[in-house]
Chains A and B, each alone.
Chain A
Amino acid sequence: GEDVEQSLFLSVREGDSSVINCTYTDSSSTYLYWYKQEPGAGLQLLTYIFSNMDMKQDQRLTVLLNKKDKHLSLRIADTQTGDSAIYFCAFSGARPGNAGNMLTFGGGTRLMVKP
């Protein structure tokens, strides 16, 4: 099965760039995701990347995928206080013994943006 690790906390100053990292063990995932959870809310899909891509950019967000090192990162440029949230990486792929559209989530990184 998939083991996914994220650091627990990240603190940055407003206007700086944030880089949230994720390492994983299973290289068979087709889709790799980043979810954002704002305080008091559910998880919302922020962006995704196909496993055959190395990079995806979407406005202030840049996703980098290093398949060799099994490392996924999310860079947020010009971080704002509204970016303060918990960020989860997630990977598609079946759980052992089961089939279907299963996602495995990392433990989440709490991003704190200081004014």
Chain B
Amino acid sequence: DAGVIQSPRHEVTEMGQEVTLRCKPISGHDYLFWYRQTMMRGLELLIYFNNNVPIDDSGMPEDRFSAKMPNASFSTLKIQPSEPRDSAVYFCASIGGGFGDLLYGYTFGSGTRLTVV
């Protein structure tokens, strides 16, 4: 497996524009997580899905953020409208649903570095 795939790797956009970040989890993994990382706040969990269903979105900063998982192999995180304070690195991670999958922990993607100017 190629691992967790995120795109794009870098995104620069103007304030007010819509931004869509994409993630392909590892095939067969039941859980998908979106994280945001900044120097000030560290690693923050935004939302996670189990079997394509959003379970906990309490970490989503505000209504400008939305996430979907239309099928087991694809998820998006959308920011509309974007603001400079959304500048961060956004990570996607996945893990299988069996207890034995805990042996391997989460697999993280390489992240999307978002800059809103």
Interface residues of A (CB under 8 A from B): 30-31, 33, 35, 41-45, 48, 88, 90, 92, 95, 98, 100-103, 105, 107-108
Contacts and interface: CB of A to CB of B under 8 A. Distances in A.
Interface residues on B, range: 20 to 34
A35 B37 CA distance: 15
Given A42-B108, A44-B108, A45-B106, 17 more contacts: A31-B103, A43-B108, A48-B103, A48-B105, A90-B105, A90-B106, A95-B56, A100-B30, A100-B50, A100-B97, A101-B30, A101-B31, A101-B102, A103-B105, A103-B106, A107-B42, A108-B43
Chain B interface mostly helix, strand, loop or mixed?
Answer: mixed
Nearest to B51: A100
Contacts of B42: 107-108
Contacts, number: 55
Given A43-B108, A105-B43, A98 B55 contact: yes
29 contacts: A31-B103, A33-B105, A35-B105, A41-B110, A42-B4, A42-B108, A42-B109, A42-B110, A42-B111, A43-B91, A43-B93, A43-B108, A45-B107, A48-B103, A90-B106, A98-B55, A98-B56, A100-B31, A100-B50, A100-B55, A100-B97, A101-B30, A101-B31, A101-B97, A101-B98, A101-B99, A101-B102, A107-B42, A107-B43
Contacts of A90: 105-106
